[in-house]
Structure 1
């Protein structure tokens, strides 16, 4: 996962608190701007939770899922999250697909991760492919949405990253200074960065301090995201499961990569590419090369593969500028092969 590793010169002001089932981290280059930036971040997190949580019966997502097969009108915040999810599905050729909600529930991830049984003995139901994002009927102009019958959305692959992008952008404007927002493995920056960029340590788990001398990069703009299969795991019917589902099978993606970290112009794009790489497994390296996005992949044995100009591992500050948002758009879409 990605985690702030401090600034190269003057330490920024910081606030850390639990949110969205993970840890929210906010850093600002000017301590005077921290209260305004924190207020923006907390408001953004509350809004995305109310709109997109799978675990709140009063969320808009829960209402949409209950109405599957029937047209509904959705609000502006939910519409933005849905658009981000559909864009990610299109650009990853369906490797990241918001219609995996029922598959997630069937695997046992039907409540907050902290509430999951660590070793559930119930049998696993037969896995089924996700219905597919192309079957969603969505009219952006009117906000009318109709899911296929028996389809549940899960916006987790993009909604948290979208919240990081929005919070960083609006917090920087409110605080009048540089801002970094980290939500678990999703990180976005906005405004003027510290000299040399925001230094980011790379580790499997954002909640655990990275080892001294471990790999780090410096981010000067855009977003950085890490997806992995080692942290959010549980056991069911004797199997170890993780939270990244392959839409083509409805099963957790076969573990090939321990973590994948991607830099892009937005956290949403970085997260979509990192998640798609986990799903694509052995085909991830060639696919990421076609996107031209800088990425670092770590396999189960700890071997590292770097593509797209990702710098060599170093504890010193090596700037990684986010690529244009069109980076994902440059990829070919070869018929959904993963």
Structure 2
């Protein structure tokens, strides 16, 4: 088993490849790692020179990369499919909640910044390789972008053998059978597809004495109030799993295998899991 771990997209990424050591395995691991860096350069809202940052700053970008266009299209399709529970235009709401810099350097307790009502559900237009944002609209592609990167890295790694790509709990497999610990006492065996988890128990901070987290309810523009601590779902791709996990955390009941953990620690299996 070949293993490589590196930081990317605000988390630790783990690559597992079930193949003998050698040039083919080494090159596949390198390409998968390079893909994470390439996609982060495109889609990070924390990198001033990224395509996404330019789009958010200028409101329009022509001749965008195919990857940025595809992720924006996936995000808009997800917004439609979830009735707005998943919304890529929560950027300003996330920033207003205090998540205005990489989490590793985010102050965990500070005064809240003065602000006004935060608008979600903004207009986004895609025409070929041109992306245009409506007035006051900015995008945050963090979750779905990470899922997309996991899927792409898994495709590159799979040319050398059965593999698993794990980016902070968002993971995809290609070939083989992989035990995945979901929560205490519960392990799922994943033979295909992907798993993603959305929760308010990891990325937390306080502003003016109020607990905050990164899962925004697009209908209020504030961190979601939920009786759930986290939700894990199984889906065909990591990008899809990211969308469905966020929607399920906000109250949707997607027709996929899922594990819900309440704020009180109760675990509920749904979607065919038993």
What's the Cα RMSD here?
1.5
Alignment match, 1:138: 126
Provide Cα deviations, 1:68-112, integer angstroms capped at 9, x if missing partner. Answer: 2x4633111211221221122122111111111111111111110
**8 Å contact 2:87–2:121 — kept in the other structure?**
no
Provide Cα deviations, 1:92-151, integer angstroms capped at 9, x if missing partner. Answer: 11111111111111111111001111101134524424033xx21111xx2111101121
Q: 1:123 to 1:56 in 2, by over 3 A?
A: closer
Aligned equivalents of 2:204, 2:115: Cα separation in 1: 18
Provide Cα deviations, 1:175-223, integer angstroms capped at 9, x if missing partner. Answer: 2x10100001210111x31xxx1010113xxxxxxx6xx2101000011
Residue 194 of structure 2 aligns to a residue whose secondary structure is: strand
Q: 1:108 to 1:222 in 2, by over 3 A?
A: same
1:162 deviation in Å? 0.5
1:255 deviation in Å? 2.8
Unaligned runs of 5+ in 1: 1-11, 204-210, 312-338
* Corresponding pairs, count: 272
Residue 99 of structure 1 aligns to a residue whose secondary structure is: coil
Q: TM-score, length-normalised on structure 2?
A: 0.94
Matched, 1:199 2:179: yes
Alignment match, 2:232: 261
Alignment match, 2:19: 30
Matched, 1:101 2:91: yes
Question: Which residues of 2 match residues 121-270 of structure 1 at below 5 A?
Answer: 121-123=111-113, 125-132=115-122, 135-139=123-127, 142-173=128-159, 175=160, 177-190=161-174, 192-193=175-176, 197-203=177-183, 214-270=185-241
Alignment match, 2:38: 47
**8 Å contact 2:11–2:167 — kept in the other structure?**
yes
Aligned equivalents of 1:198, 1:71: Cα separation in 2: 41
Matched, 1:91 2:91: no
Unaligned runs of 5+ in 2: none
1:20 deviation in Å? 1.2
Matched, 1:14 2:8: no
